Each structure stands twice: as structure tokens, then as C-alpha cells.
């Protein structure tokens, strides 16, 4: 209806779009070292000369992460099920107990207030903590048929990133007549260097929030397992 304020979710989406536009503008202005220094100086209201290389890198990383977070929440917004679970599985009286402990000793009925705070915390732990599992199972939605396709597409992007990260590593030469042991260690060194480069790429993607965190953790575990296998083969061959 005309004249009414937009819903909360709509206002939140508008603020997110404004923040995304602002961050993209800052990122576009940080193409060179001097532009990055000037942008950070304007945002932090500090002289550009006093900014260290660490300050610039941290700010650039933070902008990248925030853009990735916004993109993630746009693609996968939090629904009412997620909100309900987050509220139900909250701190359960921890803030209340902490606030009650800070009351001055001369506060009227301080002992009663502290007792009430602990009672609220205990009841929250028993009621909410004891029912959060059944609540999650009850609110878990049915599997989205498009989720598998989206996951496969994201995994394909990760594999493409891993291949691109190791393209600059030269493969070892394989001349005729080289002893098998020597050739083995050449291949081993090459493979370990590939794994190291791919691990750095995955860690950067995790820090920037580019892909799903669980999927990245799975790929990191695969790299760790591959590295252990290579190392064990090397030891058994010695």
C-alpha cells in the first residue's frame, strides 16, 4: 500500500545492496598501491603515510570478505526456519548471568536478582538446550532438488580453481635412462608442490568466503590425505 514503510526483509535487502555497492566502489578504487593507500586513508580518516603494508592488506581482505558474505546471503538468504533455530539455540541466559554479576554490592535485593538470573539460565539450558535437537529435526526442510545441481556446480568451480592454481608449476622432465628412484623423487617433489599451491588457493578462498566452508574443508582434507599418502610412499621406498 502507498505510504507504508517497506517490510523489514525488504529494508534489510536495500541496506545490503547499498553496502555492496559501496564496497564494490572501494574495491574498484584499490587497483594500485597508491589508490589502495588513499582509499584506506579516507575510510579510516588517517594520514596515508601512517598506514603500513599490513593495514592495507587487512583492509583489502576485509572488503573482499564482506563482499563474499553479502553475495552468499543474497544467494542463500536466511529463512524463518534458520531464524527460529538461531534464536532457540542462543546464549541461554549467559548475558543475564554476566549482567547480574556486575551489579554493585549495595543494589537492593541483589542476591534475589542474581538468583533469578541463574534460574533463567538453568531453565534455558534445560528447556531450550534439551529441545534444540528435536526442533532442528522438525524444522529441517525437504531436500531441494536443485541443491544437488548447485553443489555440483560449486564443486566444479573449486576444481577449476585448483587446476588454475597449479598451472604455473612445471612438470618434471622424464628423460630416458634416469634411475627409477631419482625419477620417483622428482615426481614426488612436483606433486607436493602442486598440493602446497592448491592448499594455499583453498585457504585464500576460505578466508574470502568464495565457496561453501564445508566443501572447502572437505577438499582440504583430501589434499592432506593425498600428501600423507605421497610421504608414506616416499618413506617405504627408502
CB 182 within 8 A of CB 174: no
| Cell triple for 213 | 566452508
Rounded to whole angstroms, the Cα distance separating 158 from 141 reads: 27
Comparing CA positions, the residue from 11, 33, 22, 34 lying closest to residue 66 is 22
Q: CA 89 from chain center: how many Å?
A: 20
| Cell triple for 137 | 529435526
CB 63 within 8 A of CB 27: yes
**Per-residue tens of pLDDT for the chain, all 238 residues:** 343 344 445 666 677 777 878 887 887 877 777 877 788 777 777 776 677 777 777 787 778 777 777 777 776 677 778 888 888 887 777 788 888 889 898 889 999 999 998 998 888 888 888 888 888 888 887 766 676 777 888 899 999 999 999 988 988 888 888 888 888 888 999 999 999 999 999 988 877 777 877 888 899 999 999 998 888 876 655 5
What's the whole-model pTM score? Answer: 0.50
CB 155 within 8 A of CB 205: no
Amino acid at each position: 500500500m502507498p505510504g507504508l514503510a517497506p517490510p523489514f526483509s525488504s529494508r534489510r535487502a536495500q541496506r545490503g545492496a547499498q553496502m555492496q555497492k559501496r564496497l564494490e566502489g572501494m574495491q574498484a578504487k584499490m587497483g594500485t598501491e597508491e589508490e589502495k593507500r588513499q582509499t584506506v586513508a579516507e575510510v579510516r580518516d588517517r594520514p596515508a603515510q601512517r598506514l603500513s603494508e599490513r593495514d592495507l592488506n587487512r583492509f583489502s581482505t576485509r572488503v573482499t570478505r564482506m563482499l563474499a558474505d553479502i553475495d552468499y546471503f543474497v544467494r542463500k538468504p536466511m529463512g524463518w526456519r534458520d531464524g527460529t533455530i538461531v534464536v532457540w539455540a542462543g546464549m541461554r541466559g549467559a548475558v543475564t548471568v554476566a549482567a547480574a554479576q556486575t551489579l554493585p554490592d549495595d543494589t537492593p535485593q541483589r542476591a534475589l536478582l542474581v538468583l533469578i538470573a541463574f534460574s533463567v539460565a538453568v531453565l534455558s539450558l534445560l528447556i531450550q538446550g534439551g529441545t534444540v535437537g528435536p526442533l532442528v529435526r522438525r524444522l529441517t526442510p525437504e531436500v531441494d532438488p536443485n541443491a544437488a545441481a548447485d553443489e555440483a556446480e560449486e564443486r566444479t568451480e573449486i576444481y577449476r580453481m585448483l587446476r588454475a592454481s597449479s598451472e604455473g608449476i612445471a612438470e618434471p622432465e622424464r628423460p630416458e635412462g634416469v634411475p627409477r628412484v631419482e625419477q620417483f623423487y622428482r615426481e614426488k617433489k612436483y606433486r607436493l608442490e602442486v598440493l602446497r599451491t592448491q592448499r594455499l588457493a583453498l585457504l585464500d578462498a576460505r578466508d574470502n568466503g568464495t565457496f561453501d566452508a564445508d566443501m572447502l574443508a572437505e577438499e582440504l582434507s583430501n589434499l592432506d590425505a593425498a600428501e600423507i599418502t605421497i610421504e608414506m610412499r616416499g618413506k617405504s621406498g627408502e
